[in-house]
Amino acid sequence: MSHAAVRAPKASAFPDPYSLPLDKIDVAQAELFQADAMWPYFERLRREDPVHYCAEHEFGPYWSITKYKDIMAVDTNHQVFSSEASLGGITIRNQREDFLLPMFIAMDPPKHDAQRKVVNPIVSPENLEKLESTIRERAGLILDSLPIGETFDWVDKVSIELTTQMLATLFDFPWEERRKLTRWSDIATTPPGTGLVENEEHRRAELMACADYFVNLWNQRVNAPPGNDLISMLAHGEATRNMNRMEYLGNLILLIVGGNDTTRNSISGGVLALNQNPAEYAKLRANPSLIPSMVPEIIRWQTPLAHMRRTALADAGGKKIKKGDKVVMWYVSGNRDSEVIENADSFIIDRERPRQHLSFGFGIHRCVGNRLAEMQLRIIWEEILKRFSFVEVMGEPERVYSTFVKGYVHLPVKLHKLH
Ligand code: HEM
Distance 258 CA to ligand 1 centre (A): 5
3-state class percentages of the chain: helix first, strand second, coil last, to nearest 5: 50, 10, 40
| Digit-coded pLDDT (tens) for 266-323 | 999 999 999 999 999 999 999 999 999 999 999 999 999 999 999 999 999 776 899 9
Task: Among 128, 162, 231, 262, say which to mutate for ligand 1: greatest number of ligand atoms within 8 Å of CB.
Answer: 262
Cβ of 372 less than 6 Å from ligand 1: yes
Q: In what order do the strands lie in the sheet with 412-417?
A: 152-153, 412-417, 388-393
Ligand 1 atom closest to the Cα of residue 107 is 40
- Calculate what percentage of the chain has a pLDDT beyond 70: 98
Ligand 1 atom closest to the Cα of residue 303 is 5
Give the per-residue pLDDT at 381.
98
Task: Among 268, 367, 368, 408, say which to mutate for ligand 1: greatest number of ligand atoms within 8 Å of CB.
Answer: 367
Q: Which amino acid is at 220?
A: Q
* 380: pLDDT strictly greater than 60: yes
Distance 298 CA to ligand 1 centre (A): 16
Average of pLDDT values for 234-256? 91
Q: Average per-residue pLDDT in the chain?
A: 93
Alpha-carbon dihedral sign for residues 48, 16, 359, 374? negative
Distance 189 CA to ligand 1 centre (A): 15
Give the per-residue pLDDT at 4.
45
Stretch (H or E) spanning 175? none
Residue ranges of E strands in 11-59: 51-54
In total, the chain counts a number of residues equal to 419
Give the per-residue pLDDT at 101.
83
C-alpha separations of 389 from 46, 267, 282, 383 in Å: 39, 17, 10, 11
| Digit-coded pLDDT (tens) for 72-110 | 999 999 999 999 999 999 999 988 777 788 899 999 999
Least confident of 103-112, 120-129, 356-365, 406-415: 120-129
| Digit-coded pLDDT (tens) for 312-349 | 999 997 768 999 999 999 999 999 999 999 999 999 99
Cβ of 178 less than 6 Å from ligand 1: no
Give the per-residue pLDDT at 140.
97
Q: Compute the distance between CA of residue 152 and CA of residue 164 in angstroms, rounded to an integer.
A: 19
| Digit-coded pLDDT (tens) for 52-70 | 999 999 999 999 999 999 9
* 46: pLDDT strictly greater than 60: yes
Ligand 1 atom closest to the Cα of residue 104 is 40
Distance 360 CA to ligand 1 centre (A): 6
Distance 311 CA to ligand 1 centre (A): 19
Peptide bond into 40 cis (omega under 30): no
Distance 2 CA to ligand 1 centre (A): 20
Contact call for residues 409 and 155 (beta carbons, < 8 A): yes
- Calculate what percentage of the chain has a pLDDT beyond 90: 81
- Within 10 Å of residue 207's Cβ, how many Cβ atoms? 20
Distance 354 CA to ligand 1 centre (A): 18
pTM of the predicted structure, to 2 decimals: 0.95
| Digit-coded pLDDT (tens) for 187-214 | 887 777 777 888 888 999 999 999 999 9
